[in-house]
Amino acid sequence: MVRLTADLIAKSRDHFKRKRGRSFPEYLKTLTHLHFFSKNIEDIGDLSMCRNLTVLYLYDNHITHICNLGFASNLTHLYMQNNNITHIDNLSNLQRLSKLYLGGNRIAVVEGLETLCELKELHLENQRLAPGEKLLLDPMTLLSLAKSVCVLNINNNNIDDIRDLTVLMELRHFSAADNRLHNMEELEDVFSCWPRLLNMDLGGNPVCKNTKYRDRLITVARNLEVLDGREINELTRQFLIKWKASKEAKKKKNKHLMTGPLIPDPFTNDFIVGQGPGHNIYSQASRQGWRPQQPSLRAQKLKISMSGLLHHAPVSSSPICSHVDA
């Protein structure tokens, strides 16, 4: 087993040649960066003498547990992507940690970050999960990171729901490509809560096939500059915002018209919905194929009287016109 210890550091030419005449313990105290990536390391040993360590590169190894880093209170960058880590443990003392890279591991639940109040970037892409499993983010952990995290990468983790991420109001860069996001309305609700979002990548999700996918997200995320790798033209954004506002205003007006005052219908004695001044109250009757009512009783009597007068009038036997001889 290859274990990262002070002895391993001592054997490293890259580090040892930087001693410059100092004793080895003194050298360890001055170390700020440790580069031990791709060294087949499986475990982290005692590094407590490296009290000023700020950046630790341990990616592309075989580490299964995060341990023995409690001494590193000055650590700001931790690179542990592409290992075999299954749980996020033992980071509570790293309260100055700003960037955490854990992509390409076997983490199923993101937790244990509640004390990292200065964490700005969290990279969790490409977890090697069991078939059908998806990456879960603990709500309490998300809430503790709500005011600090600016960059979140959760690419390719079978994620189908991001509503719990709504609390991350400081997000500026969000990557969730190659997941299973499909609900357009859900995305609009979440992104409307991220006023600082500048760059977003959702490529490879089913939702990208929705009609007007890009237009709808641009109108919701008002400060977004890049979507799925394509820059957003400001003129295009303003046009879409105005178009959406006009569409909503028209919909609101139509709804108001459909709920206007009730006006009596003179043909059916029922009430119809009015549309304000100048509304044609006969339009509904016309659409329903109105038929005229029977003539009034007075009109019927008048018709009978006229018929009688015509029947009893004398007829002249004389010709109406005489023949004129030529």
Give the pLDDT of residue 18.
Answer: 59
| 184-191 and 213-220 helices, crossing angle to 10° | 20
C-alpha–C-alpha distance, residues 326 and 324, integer Å? 6
Name residue 8's amino acid: L
C-alpha–C-alpha distance, residues 251 and 236, integer Å? 22
Write out the two tokens for 229: 């790798």
Helix (H) or strand (E) holding 33, with range, is strand 33-35
Name residue 229's amino acid: G
150, 118 contact by CB (below 8 A) = no
40-63 in b/e burial notation, b at 16+ Cβ within 10 A? ebbbbeebebbeebbbbbbbbbeb
What count of other Cβ atoms lies within 10 Å of the Cβ of residue 127? 23
Task: Per residue of the chain (326 residues), give pLDDT as tens.
Answer: 899 999 999 888 666 555 566 788 888 898 999 999 999 999 999 999 999 999 999 999 999 999 999 999 999 999 999 999 999 999 999 999 999 999 999 999 999 999 999 999 999 999 999 999 999 999 999 999 999 999 999 999 999 999 999 999 999 999 999 999 999 999 999 999 999 999 999 999 999 999 899 989 988 888 999 999 999 988 877 777 776 666 666 667 676 666 655 555 555 555 555 544 444 444 444 444 545 555 555 555 555 555 554 454 444 444 444 443 43
Give the pLDDT of residue 204.
Answer: 97
C-alpha–C-alpha distance, residues 40 and 59, integer Å? 10
Give the pLDDT of residue 150.
Answer: 98
Q: Which of 85, 51, 42 is nearest to 69 (CA)?
A: 51
What count of other Cβ atoms lies within 10 Å of the Cβ of residue 134? 14
295: Cβ contacts below 8 Å, ≥ 6 apart: 303
C-alpha–C-alpha distance, residues 224 and 65, integer Å? 37
Q: What is the pTM of this model?
A: 0.74
**E-strand spans in 203-315?**
226-227, 230-231, 262-264, 271-273
Report how far apart, in Å, the C-alpha atoms of 29 and of each of 13, 32, 56, 79, 252 are.
18, 8, 14, 21, 68
C-alpha–C-alpha distance, residues 185 and 174, integer Å? 18
C-alpha–C-alpha distance, residues 313 and 47, integer Å? 133
Give the pLDDT of residue 210.
Answer: 92
Give the pLDDT of residue 258.
Answer: 65
C-alpha–C-alpha distance, residues 97 and 104, integer Å? 20
Give the pLDDT of residue 53.
Answer: 96
Report how far apart, in Å, the C-alpha atoms of 196 and of each of 47, 145, 221, 280, 311 are.
39, 15, 9, 50, 94
For the chain, list the domains and their CATH numbers. 1-125 (3.80.10.10), 159-249 (3.80.10.10)
Beta bridge partner(s), residue 289:
none
* 121-123 sheet: strands from edge to edge: 33-35, 55-57, 77-79, 99-101, 121-123, 151-153, 173-175, 199-201, 226-227, 230-231
Give the pLDDT of residue 309.
Answer: 45
